[in-house]
Structure 1
């Protein structure tokens, strides 16, 4: 429904050359209140003052069609001018309302490949303030052949600008969360040393036990919104791995289980330019590689769930924790 709504909106505005600004009420009428609920607040820079934190622009919604057009919404200081950049190009400029909310529809399509969407905001007489997060958008190459939308499509990931911390998957081609009643490994953020953060979804206030190659890693607890995050104590080794997620009851019984094979690629191309984004895709997997500075890389592995990855929860695996850890 979201994709259909975006296509209808894009068609309505296609006769207008520049990007258009909508109100927040317009956005809610298009996407609904669930899709326009504020995202988790981004972390502020360590040296930021309270006044500066209040004016940092942020994303709430990023939706992009396969054709590269889309809708972006967020927040900043009231009555500030917000500039939305796609790489080094200006995607649009909008002014926030009295509540600090803004909405932009753009019909100048993003090029196929990966691009970083970033924000800056400015109040009259003040210096510009940059967003602490960026949205990495991956638009597939155009093709005339029929493509199963579960195999190819747009990926949007909200991630810290400095590459430190976890990413949030906002959009991906496969709407596969229902295959395991919402149990998902959304993303693995890691750097060139293998230091990683795993994040995903499950039932609200549920316990998720994580295993790597049948070895118990640890337990993540979901929030009221059903999101969990886990940071391994030791770096992950490069190479092929199998991650297993068990959603368990309070008594320790496994309710849902998924297994995902992935390759932790630590190969860095030192010749790449800083700020570049390289995308590699596989079956229900996408790898975003960002070069932050010489020798400093941020990798984001994004996952969908295929029916073959949903496993029998009653099978007892080697190394499985069978009581409360």
Structure 2
């Protein structure tokens, strides 16, 4: 009896040891299985805007945390160049591309190439016109940004002569202007006296504003399509020696520079976007899609108008 019991115990031990060795070997195989980094692409209308740098950094960090790589391209406001860069990224083997178009319509050939190559397109910050080629859109509530600015002006002024500098080929700034115009519609005391499209860059906005001043147009509100535009307008007023103490200047971005100028009393407000949040959500959606999950086709991130009244609630040196 004792002999049989001993044999049974030995068999149990051998079985358990074998199982343990099997689990250990499986664990070692899994541990030795290296993650092969996947390539993702990103292209923005330009990379001289701190907003796009913050957005790109957010996505790069989120992808790096998963062992993957972000390839970023700067077309410098050239749509033909952006289309060529997207083709290059497809050839480099990206599995998905995050696209902020230079021109929302003429980017179509690049979108078609992505579709043919089976590369998923995630539309960030501003719409492309041909959304059939896009897996999902992740962007700010740009229309609301314009509404919030108009409401702030109407609370502070009984009437206004308004100059608008925006970028017509970019849907995000067009939506901001539309939200603004829709809000003041029917109020004759709020008059748009000047409107011109630029490229949403500081230097371009500065030249447009200098031209407006030189033409003798009087105004007491400037609506910039983004923060660089607002800062360019401010620079032009200073260069032309215009007293801007009673001129309300607004941007959209919520950039560190914009917040600094609000604190110093040079800008009246900026409608804050949240590029860190947009970047994080875009990467989350991309992973979900690549893993075969159902995803939302559109995510709209709320904006919030920053003025001196609530400036203390925001990080003065960083992005949201």
Q: Normalising by structure 1, report the TM-score.
A: 0.25
- Higher helix content, 1 or 2: 2
The structure with more strand, counted as a fraction of residues: 1
* RCO higher in structure (CA 8 A, sep ≥6): 2
TM-score, structure 2 as length reference? 0.25
